[in-house]
Amino acid sequence: MIGPLAGPLLLRPLHCLDAETAHGVTLAALRAGLYPRGGRRADPRLTMRLFDLAFPNPLGMAAGFDKNGEVPDAVLGMGFGFAEVGTVTPRPQPGNPRPRLFRLAADRAVINRFGFNNEGHDALRRRLEARAARGGIVGVNVGANKDSADRVADYVAGIRRFADLASYFTVNVSSPNTPGLRDLQARSSLHELLVRVITARDEEARRIGRAVPVLLKISPDVDQQALEDIAEEVTATAVDGLIVSNTTVSRAGLTERHHAQEAGGLSGRPLFRKSTIVLARMRKLVGPSLPIIGVGGIDSPQAAWTKITAGATLLQLYSALVYEGPGLVGRILAHLSTELERNGLDSLADACGADLEAWSGQDIT
């Protein structure tokens, strides 16, 4: 990443490094155990029981930070309720040429065009096997190799490879950095993908005795008809949940000129409004019961609460840590507890979708 786990005094020197180098330094620090431990007392009102999992709190680290599963236990140790590793592809691939990661400090944003750079299934499996006894919720985000002749088969391979190790799966068809990948969100392609993935998951369940939850991660750059199509396919194929949303190719509203027109997916504060509207619209389409992880632009405690009231069941963040540092995790969790107290609520589930109509009715442009 870009130095997201440093304290305030260390953020500035990390920002003097190029973005991808700073990310590497951050991972190295985590591997060495140099990170702040989550020290605040757990609030039982923030626990979430979804699928067959007990989330100690609703805040997770989004995919992309720990592509190769090097530091999930450090992430959990910082106070996150869950971690997601990947995106992982069957074969290792280098991704796109550097530079491919850019800070837009004036907008509190990041642009990346990594292109699913990762070490492949075998490397991730070795690491997950080595830490399996430690517990904690660690999801696996699966994808397809750029040059694959059958991309759906790559997703199926990921399900089969990690079914005995993943707390849950994320099917990532929404990255803008692999040419043609988002085409898998089109209804006919999505139907085949989800049928084959769920079939593989169910076959593995008979082998291992557990049906690993499967979540679909979607793009914010979809129109209402596409959202309706996705919702119908998710319902028809019994997908267990959604993640809304991935990065955007839009550059609307940016103030910083330097790097603003770099190709890739934009994350951070400018994504918040768009991703939250898409979240609320999807919540209306799928109803109140389907779990949805809200991600995109959460960079403050208030933004986290807003995602919940717009319809999110759980939350993820990543880019905000570049600018806010690791203290953001504790601040968010404390604020969620405060809001429950202020509103007289017993759990976050009671707040989910409280502002659904206000958000779902907004103009997304």
Q: Of the candidates 91, 101, 88, which has an alpha carbon nearest to the alpha carbon of residue 24?
A: 101
State the DSSP H helix or E strand holding residue 88, giving kind and residue range, or none if neither: strand 82-88
Give catalytic residue positions: 175
Q: What share of residues in the chain are helix, strand, coil (percent, to 5)?
A: 45, 15, 40
CA-CA distances (angstroms) from residue 337 to 26, 49, 126, 298? 29, 17, 37, 17
Residue 303 CB neighbours (<10 A): 20
Secondary structure (3-state) at 98: coil
Q: What is the 3-state secondary structure (H, E, C) of 325-359?
A: CCHHHHHHHHHHHHHHHHHCCCCHHHCCCCCHHHH
Total residue count of the chain as it appears in this document: 365
Instruction: Identify the burial level of 214 via C-beta atoms within 10 angstroms of its C-beta, where 0-12 means exposed, 13-18 middle and 19 or more buried.
Output: buried
Angle at 246 between CA 320 and CA 348, to 5 degrees: 65
Rg (CA), the chain: 19
What is the rounded distance in angstroms from the CA atom of residue 98 to the CA atom of residue 46? 40
What is the rounded distance in angstroms from the CA atom of residue 140 to the CA atom of residue 154? 14
What sign results for the dihedral spanned by CA atoms 263, 23, 334, 107?
A: negative
